[in-house]
Amino acid sequence: MARVIGVPDALRGEAIHAFVIPADGITGSEELRRQLQTHVKGRLAFYQYPRQIIFLDQMPTITTGKILRRELRALATTSHDES
């Protein structure tokens, strides 16, 4: 499962951040991150690939299953500040 959002970026105006729940038996790693970015670059324009990929155990959702984008934006901002 994956979700992609745009977050403010000083250089580009908005940067693409992806949140991925790896399939069972697969762990998020730098190698997987590079593979996902390369895959997206091969299918979309080079500038449309996610600059940041964050691996999660589960997506933040409400009881109906809707994904909370504000929670993902907060995670993206937090992880960007730590970089």
Question: For residues 14 and 20, what is the distance between their CA atoms, to the nearest angstrom?
Answer: 19
pLDDT in the model for residue 25: 93
pLDDT in the model for residue 60: 93
Strands 52-55 and 2-9: unpaired
pLDDT in the model for residue 77: 81
Say if residues 47 and 53 touch (Cβ distance below 8 Å): no
- Domain coverage including residue 58: 2-82
Using DSSP, state whether 11 is helix, strand or coil. Answer: coil
Domain count, the chain: 1
Give residue-wise pLDDT tens across range 2-48.
999 998 888 888 889 999 999 999 999 999 999 999 999 999 988 88
pLDDT in the model for residue 80: 57
At 64, which CATH number?
3.30.300.30
Question: For residues 75 and 3, what is the distance between their CA atoms, to the nearest angstrom?
Answer: 13
pTM of the predicted model as reported, rounded to 2 decimal places: 0.84
Give residue-wise pLDDT tens across range 38-83.
999 999 988 889 999 999 999 999 999 999 999 999 988 886 555 5
Using DSSP, state whether 72 is helix, strand or coil. Answer: helix
